[in-house]
Amino acid sequence: MLVKKKVFWIIWLLFTLMLSAYFLIPLIKQENQGMFLIGETTHGHHQIEMACDACHTKPFGGKEVLQDACVSCHAEELKAVSDSHPKSKFTDPRNADRVALLDARYCVTCHREHREEITHEMGLSLPEDYCFICHKDIAEDRPSHAGMAFDSCASAGCHNYHDNQALYEDFLIKHAGGEAIKAHSQRPTLNAFELLNAKKGYKALSIEDLLATEKTYDGDILQAWQASNHARSEVGCSDCHQQEQEPWNDHPAVATCESCHEFQAETFFLGKHGMRLNADLGNMTPAMAKVEMKADAAHKELSCTSCHDSHQPDLSKAATESCMGCHDSEHVRNFPSSPHALSTDVSCATCHMPREQKVEQGLKIFRVNHNQNMNLKPNEKMIRSVCMDCHSLEFSIDALADEKLLENNFSGKPEVHIRSVDMAIERDKSKSNKDSLYH
């Protein structure tokens, strides 16, 4: 009887230890933590869901801790788009009654993670008529809005909670009218290389300039390199393949590219292509994606060189061919037969990796933002950064609101019309607007 009891206790002890180890080891080693996920992660965060501490930076602290995590990744973006509902609007005590109904001081009030069953487009986990809480009397100030459903405020082309840069009333009025397709594209030309090279006075390297090393160079690679911007800006083989006396590396990591292409790398890390690398979770692969991908590309690993052939002088491969090597949605499949592809030089990157102006060393430089999610959703974010380079504001709003056009990759004219511009013009005419020096 005593022996039986002893055996029971030993089994119980072993079972307890094993169970504890099963849960504690992943926590301590911070790997294979999938068992702790309390629900499906949204499209915006699923890539880094195994890095629990990316958001849950401390075990205790609740909403404040989560808020800090949200802000650490998204603050700059919200600032850049002049967030229409910044936290400071809700920390003012005069809005205490509103905060009691909707605590908009915290991102997680509207964006609860791991709650797929209640999550809408844009990661919104509230009922879609939430605008009602603060703007229920909007029709008093804007009679044109009387009778409109409150779940339609954030419809394509009307309003966004955060980014209204292309939708605010005065912008709609200022850019009303104009040709649907402009005679000349106003797309900025990439000038970083030319401007900085001229400023730094680089002299192009040739194959003869390369230092003799034990490495045997591939002739084709050398010819390609000689014609590339790398050679033109005095970047030789060892600058990438053998940094700081390290052994030769055939496949330089993103950090090597980042040492010169800082802005491109920074923005790459913010997007869905690079956010896993940023969280030290290894490379993103199409197999992990939640959008449609080509089966034969499932295990390709995303880094700078998965899209760019760094030895080639032609960067256009990365602008379309590389994207289509993995992505397989209807929108993507229809691109080659679209007017953009057939009649213009518009590529995937034209729209999804817009050119941004930065002032650097006193020079106005246009560079490619490599966070392809920055202007993706809601799609009105594209209007100013991309669409209006070639199209009128009204055409852009209508086209982006037309589901069919999005699927067939803009083959045809918009069949829906959003009245935002009309309403802004009508209201403006109804007011006794006078000229002023200040607006």
Q: Which of residues 137-176 bind other proteins (CB under 8 A)?
A: 141, 168, 170-171
359 binds other proteins (CB under 8 A): no
Q: Stretches 97-105, 125-133, 197-205, 256-264: which one binds other proteins (CB under 8 A)?
A: 97-105
Among residues 52, 70, 99, 108, which is the contact residue for other proteins, using CB under 8 A?
99
| The binder of other proteins chosen from 46, 68, 77, 86 (CB under 8 A) | 86
User: CB under 8 A: which stretch of 34-42, 111-119, 145-153, 426-434 binds other proteins?
Assistant: 426-434
Among 151, 356, 360, 428, binds other proteins (CB under 8 A): 428
DSSP 117: G
Beta-bridge mates of residue 391: 181
| Interaction of residue 93 with other proteins, rule CB under 8 A | yes
97 sits near other proteins (criterion: CB under 8 A): yes
Q: For the chain, first and last CA: distance in Å?
A: 94
What single string gives the DSSP state of each residue in 166-231? TTSHHHHHHT----SB-SS--PPPP-HHHHHHHHHT-----GGGSPP-SSPPPHHHHHHHHTSHHH
Candidates 28, 60, 88, 247; binder of other proteins (CB under 8 A) is 88
Q: Which residues contact 88 (CB under 8 A, 6 or more apart)?
A: none
Among 53, 64, 92, 280, binds other proteins (CB under 8 A): 92
CB of 179 to other proteins, least distance (A): 22
Distances (CA, A) of 189 to 170, 258, 271: 28, 22, 23
Beta carbons within 10 angstroms of residue 85's beta carbon? 15
**Which stretch in 13-21, 85-93, 333-341, 403-411 sits in contact with other proteins by CB under 8 A?**
85-93
Which uninterrupted H or E stretch holds 364?
Answer: strand 363-368
Least separation, in Å, of the C-beta of 437 and other proteins?
4
Q: Where does this chain touch other proteins (CB under 8 A) — which range of 41-49, 96-104, 334-342, 405-413?
A: 96-104
Q: Cβ of residue 304: shortest distance to other proteins, in angstroms?
A: 32
Which residue ranges make up the site for other proteins (CB under 8 A)? 82, 86-88, 91-97, 99-100, 141, 168, 170-171, 428, 431-439
